[in-house]
Amino acid sequence: MLIRVRRSVSLRAALTLAVSTFAGACASTGGPGGAVPRPFPVPGRARILEAPAPPPQTSAVDSYALVGTALSLRGTPYRNGGADPQGFDCSGFTQYVFAQYGVPLARDVRDQFEQGKSVKSSELAVGDLLFFTTVAISPSRPPAPTHVGIAIGGNQFVHAPSSTGVVRVEHLGASYWSARYLGARRIN
């Protein structure tokens, strides 16, 4: 009989602890400072539902890690329409690198040029997308982006050019690239 009483007391204590733990967890939801009481529905009055607050916008992408991933793909062959380590074109390369960090990018260079926010050339940062026009410029039409790369710092960028056939690093100040530079976008 003493064993049954002890088991009964132990079981009751455990049950009380579990209930208070769950009740405490429920009471602590609703924001900082504890529970926020909601009014009880009143007959004849419409019930107002509040939308949950959106999560705070944070930049979870480490730009240096992103650039490290891009640099690790140096030497990958150029492949028109390529978007994986078997071969990349320029926008497939940037799309793939950003996707490794959960950041969706459009597939087309022109669509990528519309994403994120514009960045002044004097404010370029590691991980910014750099856009160029690599086709003949017509006086009747403004230049459009036809090539994209990723800024890696030190006035350099990594990209998948078709000219030499592999992902490589270039200097933004080189005459070819500086003459064709259109702008930059910050995605994260």
Compute how many other C-beta atoms are within 10 angstroms of the C-beta atom of residue 37. 7
Q: Which of 66, 67, 90, 152 is catalytic?
A: 90
Judge residue 183's burial from the number of C-beta atoms within 10 Å of its C-beta, 0-12 exposed, 13-18 middle, 19 or more buried. middle
Per the annotation, the verdict on 171 as an active-site residue is: no
HEC per residue, 45-60:
CCCCCCCCCCCCCCCC
Q: Which of 76, 98, 159, 180 is catalytic?
A: 159
Per the annotation, the verdict on 159 as an active-site residue is: yes
Q: Which of 83, 88, 147, 160 is catalytic?
A: 147
How far is Cα 166 from Cα 161, in angstroms, rounded to an integer? 7
How far is Cα 88 from Cα 159, in angstroms, rounded to an integer? 9
Q: What residues act catalytically?
A: 90, 147, 159
